[in-house]
Amino acid sequence: MRSLNAVFSPGGRHGRLSTLIFHRVLAQPDPLFPEEPDARRFDELMSWVGASFNVVPLDQALTQLRAGTLPPRALAITFDDGYADNCEIAMPILRRHGMNATFFVATEFLDGGRMWNDTIIEAIRRTAAQALNLSDLGLGTHDLSSVTKRRQAIDRLLPAIKYLALDQRCAMVDVLEQRCAVALPNDLMMTSGQVCELRDGGMSIGGHTCSHPILARLDERAARDEIVENKSRLERMLGQAIELFAYPNGKPGADYLARDVGLVREAGYRFAVSTSAGVARQDCDPFQIPRFTPWDRTQFRFGIRMARNMFSASSVAA
């Protein structure tokens, strides 16, 4: 597989950078989200990555890419949002493999906060109710009689709520939480101290807005405030410049606009990443770097999917 990727991912002026995106690494498999990697699965995946790629810190890789000095089979690893398991579980595994990753942190949820989607997920996971009626909110009625049915309800509700205006989204999530009538966890996200632990452990930290909004749904002033304040908070926390940014949700045109690319550049970031699949080439827009994660369960299929991703045409030229 190493030789295959060497052909598809040369270095130098023809270099191609693969960038993986993760969110969580769980202590144990989750029946509700079996595709989410647990510690054993993530360790296995990192062993495959190490066998086939040269893992390079994202900022270094992007600097080398633009200079035409990227090594062959280059790959960067990233995490979005700021979950506590990033520090507690993912970092020790990465360090054991001698790897660096960049962690993009939404600062509003640090120190006991919880993202809106996790409120929905955990409320539905934990409720004793066997059905959830949200028809008065235009969100239908949901069968919760099994793990499979609960996952189906989550998969219907998250996209239905995600693109609402922020105040409307918050109101609907609050109603759903009240109707599920359960105590929800307040330790899913990192503490400020854990963000510092990541940095001290050799990891990189990037910005991800304060409250993880869909930037394309905000007016320009609100979008600027989310981007600039998040950067300022992280810089005060860590005592260093923050130069990497990830767009929340990250789909070009749907989740962020050309306007937002300009706002990120104006805020003083050097590079930004999307969730558009593909690889970054030397002519790729440094503020729209593509990312990708294969979820394959065998090393062979992992390698084939990574190779296919290298031919994706989704990277955006500068």
Per-residue pLDDT tens for 58-83? Answer: 999 999 999 999 999 999 999 999 99
Domain membership of residue 212 (yes or no) is yes
Per-residue pLDDT for 132 more than 80? yes
Domain membership of residue 314 (yes or no) is no
- Cα separation of the two ends of the chain: 31
Task: Out of 128, 145, 180, pick the residue that ends a domain.
Answer: 180
Can you count the helices (H) and strands (E) in the chain? 12, 9
**pLDDT, mean of residues 182-209:** 98
Residue type at 309?
A: N
Are 201 and 265 within one domain?
A: yes
Mean pLDDT rounded to a whole number for the chain: 94
Are 146 and 200 within one domain?
A: no
Q: What percent of the chain has pLDDT over 90?
A: 86
Read off the pLDDT band of 294 (50, 70, 90).
confident
Read off the pLDDT band of 43 (50, 70, 90).
very high
In whole angstroms, what is the distance from residue 237 CA to residue 198 CA?
Answer: 12
**pLDDT tens per residue across span 15-35:** 899 999 999 999 999 999 999
Are 239 and 125 within one domain?
A: no
**pLDDT score, position 3:** 47
159 burial type by CB count under 10 A (0-12 exposed, 13-18 middle, 19+ buried)? exposed
**pLDDT score, position 307:** 83
CATH code of the domain covering residue 250: 3.20.20.370
Read off the pLDDT band of 38 (50, 70, 90).
very high
Q: What percent of the chain has pLDDT over 70?
A: 95
In whole angstroms, what is the distance from residue 223 CA to residue 21 CA?
Answer: 23
Per-residue pLDDT for 135 more than 50? yes
Per-residue pLDDT for 188 more than 90? yes
Domain membership of residue 141 (yes or no) is yes
Look at residues 203, 223, 207 and name the one whose alpha carbon lies nearest to residue 215: 223
**Helices 192-200 and 220-238: crossing angle, nearest 10°?**
60
SS3 80: strand
Per-residue pLDDT for 4 more than 60? no
In whole angstroms, what is the distance from residue 117 CA to residue 35 CA?
Answer: 17
Read off the pLDDT band of 7 (50, 70, 90).
very low
**pLDDT score, position 8:** 57
> How many distinct structural domains can be found in the chain?
2
SS3 51: helix
Are 288 and 170 within one domain?
A: no
Centre a 10 Å sphere on the Cβ of residue 116 and count the other Cβ atoms it contains.
Answer: 22
In whole angstroms, what is the distance from residue 157 CA to residue 116 CA?
Answer: 12
Are 275 and 139 within one domain?
A: no
**pLDDT, mean of residues 262-279:** 97
Per-residue pLDDT for 309 more than 90? no
In whole angstroms, what is the distance from residue 211 CA to residue 40 CA?
Answer: 31
**pLDDT, mean of residues 116-127:** 98
**pLDDT score, position 318:** 61
Are 107 and 123 within one domain?
A: no
**pLDDT score, position 310:** 81
Residue span of the structural domain in which 212 resides: 2-111+187-309
Are 164 and 242 within one domain?
A: no
Look at residues 103, 58, 92 and name the one whose alpha carbon lies nearest to residue 76: 58
From the CA atom positions of the chain, what is the Rg in Å? 20
Per mean pLDDT, which range of 5-14, 172-181, 200-209 is the poorest? 5-14
Cα angle, residue 164 at apex, residues 266 and 269 outer, rounded to 5°: 15
Per mean pLDDT, which range of 15-24, 208-217, 287-296 is the poorest? 287-296
